[in-house]
Structure 1
């Protein structure tokens, strides 16, 4: 039997909630980090860090952790939401951003600010993750996603904003013209 874990770091509340959530899954599954490591393909050290509350783990690590403990799609979605809240808290950018509601976008500047807010609300996922989750990766190269996020460019055609929004977790029925 190994040493007991250090207490979760709750200096950032959302990070602490995510860590407690992950630990809860592992304890419920009755697994050691070594067993979970074999199931997920992630190192025990990565899994321990994810459940420490000391830093925000990658979304893919959170998803693999929950799946490795036997969690299904709903459990992964719940963990993704905790991850998103943690990233938003960690980055602390949303309070500084101002963008109009989608129906009030009147120019390229408004569109650019709105897409930045959408990205931040999604937890500022990596550009590769946006592309992979876009359901149309050919429409949104990583370089285009980078220019959109940095507000250096707006989407080049009608497919790019749809791919960007989908990649940021906005369901198609919420995409506005």
Structure 2
């Protein structure tokens, strides 16, 4: 059994009962082919929560500092995380993300780039749009409807794929695509409060 499967099983056992995780729309995630899951970001627990609720294995970018400890870095790599340098263009991370998609895998992104301190959705950075335009991936908006409250209920909602053909054909800007993705995440949040 892979470290990813072990991590997913452990996180499911630990987190699902504490936050009474309810999953909606997981059938919107294609069973095969490249997929980008784009979610709002309200807690450090978001990556494992999205990871345990998504029917596919997900690769996440994580800030480079987390990999400085060899043990932690090894575990993170084992659960499909890879480092990105924040605040600058990290060509290696960009190439790695595009390669993940080219291989038909699932990439998890938090377009806001950082956690929302208020729980309100923030502005998305152009990175999500960049990956959406540079790949053939299906783009799935995802809303984590919180807050994280012990024995409250946390919802993870997967929306319908965002139509990308017209955007790719007319060479829309990365920021425009990110704005569309953020709008879809916002709609999911509003509809599932």
TM-score, L = length of structure 2: 0.26
Q: Identify, as 1 or 2, the structure richer in helix.
A: 1
Bigger relative CO (Cα 8 Å, ≥ 6 apart): 2
Q: Which has the larger radius of gyration?
A: 1
